[in-house]
A and B are shown apart, each in its own frame.
Chain A
Amino acid sequence: MAGSVLEARNLVKSFGKNRVLKGVDLTILPGERYFLFGPNGAGKTTLVKVLSGLWKADSGEVLLFGEPMERDAEGIRARIGVLSHDPYLYGELTAMENLEFYGQLYGLSDPRTRAKEMLKDVGLYARAHDRVDTFSRGMKQRLGLGRALLHDPDLVFLDEPYTGLDMRASTTLERMVREKSEEGKAFFAITHDLGQGLEMATRAGILSGGKMDTESEAGDWDCFSKRYLDVMGGGR
């Protein structure tokens, strides 16, 4: 689709004999907050890893900003951010050093200033010079969010973003996601938390058994929720 930030066609991914993705199609437009739900083992995390370019699909195609990853891997990576279960932070480094390091990797002109801004945004400026291995799980996740948004990406993947977050951190996450999406940035998130997810989503989908089961737009959440409960109740 013209103008899409992400377009996936017929993605298939297997691990040995286990076919995890069985032909997934997906399109995400600028400014969208797409939330994907599904039971454990549905292939959600695998899908995020394939879409973000960490893993290659066995077949099918992923276009990011209209181009396949292989055509300009570094250019595309500079425009995407990923917040995973793991915040990708170095415990031996301070919060400031972690963000500065990633700022340098992403070629920011002034990584230190940007790191300070981001630490203020995620509410960790007071702990800027503390080692990350002294942080709680929630603080690490907030810093991980700062790392994922540090380079102002056009598309952000959030893999279970609410895991380990307290209410304050969840509010910070939601505020930042809403602000960025109003600027035209797109978000693709996977979560088990239907209530929190649908509150944030502009569009949502259910992945079940490696296939896209249902997709709905905001305003049609009643049918979507019923279908979700059917899928969860019926297992795979």
Chain B
Amino acid sequence: MGATAAIFAKELRVEFRNRQTIVSYLLLAVLILTSFRFAFSTIGEDHTELAAPILWITIFFSGLLSLTPSYKREVDERTKEGLLLAPVEHQSIFLGKLAASLVVVFGLEVVTLVLFFGFFPFAFPDGLALGVILVLGTLGFVILGSILSAIAANLTQAGVMLMVLAIPVLLFTVVLSAVSATSEIFSGGGLSDVDSEWKLLTVFTLVYFAIGYILIDYILEA
């Protein structure tokens, strides 16, 4: 637990001292939302079918961008070997980095939500239902994104490779379920109306976590 906490604290410290990277994630979120606002300039409160795709595309792409540096930085700064030589389980590295990535992505999500409701005239839906779906959807894509980021870290174009690897998998699992549930919520539904979706998102999250936890030994030693 000590090593996980140390890696978590180190990741956040490094991330927040790299202000350029934090600004770039926020900037991407703002740019995506602005593009949609211009594309759907006549959008009204009743166009709820557009709310979920706009929200998730923004979260998904800015979130994925924030996942790239986590492992890539260790390769670029040549600190990966220092971590691997330390007497800690590779799972601690995975958990520490994952927890830090979740803090960053959830932070991004809060900003994105504020901007989203500022940019678009949608009424605020059931808060509990939206919160549950956002948390489960984010857990799912951050866990899988974190695994793929570790795999892509040794490649020159790690950011592009992460997108190439992550989008096909996440689109048809986490994103599809999250968008479907969020659409229902923006149409006035509550948590009970998205029962199957949140259960499916929970399963994806658990499966991705188990895969990452088991495979991280092989991924880091590759």
Contact = CB atoms under 8 A, between A and B. Distances in A.
Interface of A: 52-54, 73-75, 77-78, 80, 82, 84, 86, 88-93, 97, 101-102, 104-107, 131, 147
A86 B80 CA distance: 10
Nearest to A108: B2
Contacts of A131: 17
Pick from A75, A84, A147 the residue with the most CB of B within 10 Å. Answer: A84
Interface stretch (B57-65, B82-90, B111-119, B173-181): B82-90
A154 to B, nearest CB: 13
B89 A93 contact: no
A90 B77 contact: yes
A54 B84 CA distance: 7
B28 interface: no
A77 B85 contact: yes
Interface stretch (B6-14, B33-41, B130-138, B191-199): B6-14
Given A54-B81, A88-B78, A105-B6, A93 B13 contact: yes
A82 B17 contact: no
B89 A74 contact: yes
B86 A97 contact: no
B218 to A, nearest CB: 12
A218 B159 CA distance: 52
Given A93-B10, A104-B2, A86 B87 contact: no
Interface of B is mostly: helix
Interface in B1-24: 2-3, 5-7, 9-10, 13-14, 17-18
A102 B2 contact: no
Contacts of B78: 86, 88
B66 to A, nearest CB: 16
A80 B85 contact: yes
12 contacts: A73-B87, A74-B87, A82-B85, A88-B82, A89-B79, A90-B10, A97-B10, A104-B3, A105-B7, A105-B88, A106-B87, A147-B82
A101 B4 CA distance: 11
A108 to B, nearest CB: 10
Nearest to B6: A104
Interchain residue pairs A-B with the least CB separation, the first 4? A88-B82, A104-B6, A86-B78, A78-B87
A92 B18 contact: yes
A216 B122 CA distance: 80
Contacts of B3: 104-105, 107
Given A101-B9, A105-B83, 14 more contacts: A54-B81, A73-B87, A75-B87, A77-B85, A77-B87, A78-B87, A88-B79, A88-B85, A90-B14, A90-B77, A93-B13, A101-B6, A105-B6, A107-B3
